[in-house]
Chains A and B, each alone.
Chain A
């Protein structure tokens, strides 16, 4: 397996004392930041004229194809763990 995360000494700081609600707020902020990155990336594409919603739909569809493969893999592994 390759390196999944930066070494703890150089990784982003963690805030262990956040409440679960504060953690969810941070997660929502991160998702919204992801949207901003996506829109910024769109402007750099050759097909910059593409409607952002249409581009997001295409990107999400690709992500869901991966999600479907993940679900199938999980189902197989859960089955194997129970002798099926």
Chain B
């Protein structure tokens, strides 16, 4: 039920972003118009919220004929770490989709989870460490974590994921 609606929304937004070729230096008003033309309604007016120097925008989308709003949040990549993470994005294929979707590299996704900081986000980060241990670039992970002041959280989460082991590159 909700899973299907979430996937449908994700596909719609991915296709929108691929089609519009939306770049982060594009005029924000034009971006917001493109989102609304694609059926995304602002969650509030104005749709863009600013906290410090960080902006994000929130929309609602009703996939198909359902009377169910799915929330779509856009975090603007305006700071160096975010722009670097965007540059490192990777493509991934969804079953039955004609186009690929762009997602954060796993190292960056872990850092975003650490920044989010709720227990569920930290558990996600620990699970990502376990599931991707053999392919992670630990040097990059530690470097990016330090840039956004979540180095201590990374160490804590590593201990949760691998309580009996030292993180690669760390002194024993």
Which of A's residues lie within 8 Å of B, judged by CB?
A: 1-5, 7-8, 11, 14, 16, 20-21, 24-25, 28, 31-32, 34-35, 38-39, 52-53, 56-57, 60, 64, 66-68, 70-82, 84
Which of B's residues lie within 8 Å of A, judged by CB?
A: 1-4, 6-7, 49, 51-56, 58, 67-68, 70-71, 73, 75, 79-82, 92-95, 112, 115-119, 121-123, 126-127, 130-131, 134, 147-150, 156-157, 160-163
Chain B residue nearest to A73 in the complex (CB): B117
Contacting pair B117 A76 (CB below 8 A): no
Chain B residues with CB under 8 Å of A66's CB are 118
Chain A residue nearest to B91 in the complex (CB): A20
Name 8 A/B residue pairs within 8 A (Cβ), A-sorted.
A4-B122, A4-B126, A66-B118, A73-B117, A74-B115, A77-B149, A79-B53, A81-B147
CB proximity of B127 to chain A, nearest CB, Å: 6
> Per a CB cutoff under 8 Å, which of A5, A28, A53, A81 touches B148?
A81
Chain A residues with CB under 8 Å of B2's CB are 31, 34-35, 38, 56, 60
**A78 to B78, alpha carbons, bound, how many Å?**
10
> Per a CB cutoff under 8 Å, which of A4, A39, A82, A84 touches B160?
A4
Chain B residue nearest to A76 in the complex (CB): B51
Contacting pair B123 A7 (CB below 8 A): no
**A20 to B61, alpha carbons, bound, how many Å?**
27
Chain A residues with CB under 8 Å of B51's CB are 72, 75-76, 79
Contacting pair B126 A81 (CB below 8 A): no
Contacts A8-B161, A25-B95: A16 and B53 contacting too (C-beta < 8 A)? no
Contacting pair A3 B160 (CB below 8 A): yes
Contacting pair B1 A35 (CB below 8 A): yes
Contacting pair A1 B94 (CB below 8 A): no
